[in-house]
Amino acid sequence: MIRLYSPSFSLSPSRASDDPLQQTYDAIVVGSGATGGWAAKQLAEAGLKVALLEAGRAVSPSEFTEHMPAYKLKYRDHSPEVARTRPVQKQCYACMEYNYEWFVNDLENPYSTPAGKPFTWQRLRILGGRSLVWGRQSYRLSDTDFKAASRDGYGDDWPFSYADLAPYYDIVEKYVGITGAAEGDPMLPDGQFLPPMKMSCGEILMRERVKAQFGHTVTIGRAAVLTQVHNGRAACHYCGPCERGCSTFSYFSSPFTTVKDALKSGNCTLITNAVVSHIDMDNATNKARSVTFVDRLTRQTKEVRGKSVILCAQALESTRILLNSSTREYPNGLANSSGTLGRYLMDHVVGGGAGGRLPELKVPPSANEPQRPNGIYVARFRNTPTSAKHPRFIRGYGFQGGADVDFNLGAEGYGTSFKKAVKEGFYQIGLGAFGESLARWDNFIEIDPSLKDAWGIPALRINMTHGENEAALMEDAAATAAEMLEATGAKDIKVQANVEMPGMAIHELGTARMGADPKKSVLTPFNQTHDVKNVFVMDGASFVSSACQNPTLTMMAITVRACANLIDRFHKNDV
């Protein structure tokens, strides 16, 4: 049952002071990305006084560059400034000469990794965080994911089931606007979809032939991009590069949706350039009383007081704040009586798949085609309730991919024949897997005792490797992708069975897991820390297992569910 709250309801009377740091807020939300935006919106619209802290600056549509051709860039995306200041961030395709200032400066935001265990950590510190540049793919998890441990004996179940989360998926999808097609595949529960985007000829061939030969579901991607006017935002105009901003706000990003709503409520105070250092405890009551942050620009240390603290800073950042909030009572990190804080770090394994050409489709390429910001998706088909148990691995993977004609910039030869061959193009088809990353105790983050960021805040040491199960998933994905391409009629098929370095999927999950047992988990099933009643973590840190679906939709649904519970507690004076 979902309760609706009156926006006019107010729990804390407003103070006369204009100084945002002289007030005591009902809730301090740390982070303004996909989940922080939702937390601020839900709580502020319910009448709570909210302080929304963002480590970066505000963002304006005037800095969107999605309609700027590459030839207007001095280095046409080979800028030495990106290589100099963002050597880690530029490992992500979305960090480019257009927009690199949205990504953190790696020189100011260091982290360490042990020798031989690289991890790439992609971060944005700006209003909206990674929701400005995310891939927008939005899939529900199913009970095969939430109850995976009960089926195969590995790890732990989530402390709730699909039925508990489904109403919150509905709320998020209806607000965000998810384009997609219902398929009735139990591995990929259907949701509240806007009309699906169309498939290309090659994708339809793949859908039909793969269904006929293997029974797998090939569907159009489910994406947080509008295909019709929705909640005051226009439909996508198919210009292509969403990660550079959208002047019609047609893809979901928090500054222009949830954060905007939170501010409109009159109950939310946005504090930008607030680099949070730690949570301050009142030891007498065992409750958090404030959050200390460093002003990003002046480097002054400041404090904001609140009745509750909600960390939505991104999985690793939220846990870093808890680890940096140790007290005498919590010497190994705040809310870490279980010893699991920082443990069970996950990131989907990528690197398995296949690509080829579809010579039967002879379509000339065009520079004047709509650019669909979406691909196709193949639902997980390994280790499902109806398939045989795979002998070499547990869990499974889904594929993202696509098929379309493109200019053949790699044509052979040179001269007039090369120039002509480029324009003749070729029809390409490809699939890349995202596999489940098992929750393992020995994948963890900790504070590096000798490393601090530019604001003097102790930085993380990230310890993660993918294991044998992940490698087996990618090996299998290469083979099954090749089979599906072959069935579609592809030629010149090339497979990849790599295990890319952890972090590459940019789906970091875990490190403050939920659970019913306080001895084995950090958070309750409603994202409240077991140890400190008024501290919450509402982001990917709370995941118990990674499943293989892109996680942001689930993070948002979990946040809305947790906020509904928190609002209830405020009403019962139980925070």
Partner 1 sequence: MKRRELLRAGAVAGAVAALRPTLAAPQTAAKSPELTPAQSGVDASQELSAANWKPLFLDEHQNETLIILSDLIIPATDTPGAKEALVNRFIDLVLAAETHDRRRSFLDSLAYLDGEGMRRYKAAFRYLKRDEQDDLLHSLAYPRAGSNWTGEGAAPDIGHGHFEKLKQQIAGAYYSSQIGQRELGWDGNFAHGPYQGCEHPEGSHK
Please select the residue that binds partner 1; options are 57, 147, 151, 305, rule is CB under 8 A: 57
Q: Is 127 in the site for partner 1 (CB under 8 A)?
A: yes
Q: How many helices (H) and strands (E) does the chain have?
A: 11, 19
DSSP-derived 3-state class of residue 296: coil
260 binds partner 1 (CB under 8 A): yes
Q: Does 369 bind partner 1 (CB under 8 A)?
A: yes
| 372 in contact with partner 1 (CB under 8 A) | yes
Question: Contact between 229 and partner 1 (CB under 8 A)?
Answer: yes
Token pair 């009643």 in the structure block, residue: 533
Q: Assess 132 for contact with partner 1 (CB under 8 A).
A: no
> Which residues, other chains included, contact 417 with Cβ-Cβ below 8 Å and sequence gap of 6+?
none
Taking CB under 8 A as the criterion, the residue among 2, 14, 22, 70 binding partner 1 is 70
Which of 159, 83, 205 shows the shortest CA–CA distance to 521?
A: 159
Q: By CB under 8 A, is residue 249 in contact with partner 1?
A: yes
Binds partner 1 (CB under 8 A): choice among 144, 272, 337, 549: 272
Q: Is 422 in the site for partner 1 (CB under 8 A)?
A: yes
Our CB check for partner 1 shows the closer of 79 and 542 to be 79
Between 103 and 168, CB nearer to partner 1: 103
Closer to partner 1 at the Cβ: 93 or 414? Answer: 414
On whether the CB atoms of residues 31 and 313 are closer than 8 A, the answer is yes
Q: Does residue number 58 form part of the binding site for partner 1 (CB under 8 A)?
A: yes
User: Which three-class secondary structure string do you get for 45-92?
Assistant: HCCCCEEEECCCECCCHHHCCCCCCHHHCCCCCCCHHHHHHCCCHHHC
Segment interacting with partner 1, rule: CB under 8 A, options 258-266, 327-335, 439-447, 531-539: 258-266
Minimal distance in Å, beta carbon 220 to partner 1?
9
For partner 1, the binding residues in 320-359 under the rule CB under 8 A are none
Residues in the chain: 575
Tell me which of 201, 421, 454, 495 binds partner 1, using CB under 8 A. Answer: 201
DSSP H or E run through 30: strand 27-30
Q: How many CA atoms lie within 13 A of 430 on its CB side?
A: 16
Collect all residues with Cβ–Cβ distance below 8 Å to 364 and sequence separation of at least 6: 405, 423, 424, 425
Rounded to a whole number of angstroms, the minimum distance from the CB of residue 72 to partner 1 is 5
Beta bridge partners of 429: 356, 403
Site for partner 1 in 393-412 (CB under 8 A): 407, 409, 412
From 182-190, 334-342, 366-374, 522-530, span contacting partner 1 (CB under 8 A): 366-374
Question: Total residues at the site for partner 1 (CB under 8 A)?
Answer: 80
How far is residue 570 from each of residues 301, 361, 564, measured CA to CA in Å?
29, 61, 10
Region of 158-166, 419-427, 447-455, 503-511 interacting with partner 1 (CB under 8 A): 419-427
Please list the helix, strand and coil fractions of the chain in percent, rounded to the nearest 5, in that order: 25, 20, 55
Q: Which of 348, 344, 380, 349 is nearest to 142 (CA)?
A: 380
Residues 88-117 binding partner 1 (CB under 8 A) are 97-101
Q: Which of 112, 192, 248, 326 binds partner 1 (CB under 8 A)?
A: 248
Q: Out of 13, 69, 116, 449, which residue is the one contacting partner 1 (CB under 8 A)?
A: 69
One residue of 21, 181, 361, 493 binding partner 1 per CB under 8 A: 361
Q: By CB under 8 A, is residue 298 in contact with partner 1? A: no
Residue 62 found at the interface with partner 1 (CB under 8 A)? yes
Could you say which of 15, 67, 389, 452 contacts partner 1 (CB under 8 A)?
A: 67
66 near partner 1, judged by CB under 8 A: yes
- Exposure class string for 431-461: b at 16+ Cβ within 10 A, else e: bbbbbbbbbbeebbbbbbeeeebebebbbbb
Among 13, 232, 331, 449, binds partner 1 (CB under 8 A): 232
Report which of 48, 176, 23 is spatially closest to residue 536, judged by C-alpha positions: 48
Q: Is residue 488 near partner 1 by the rule CB under 8 A? A: no
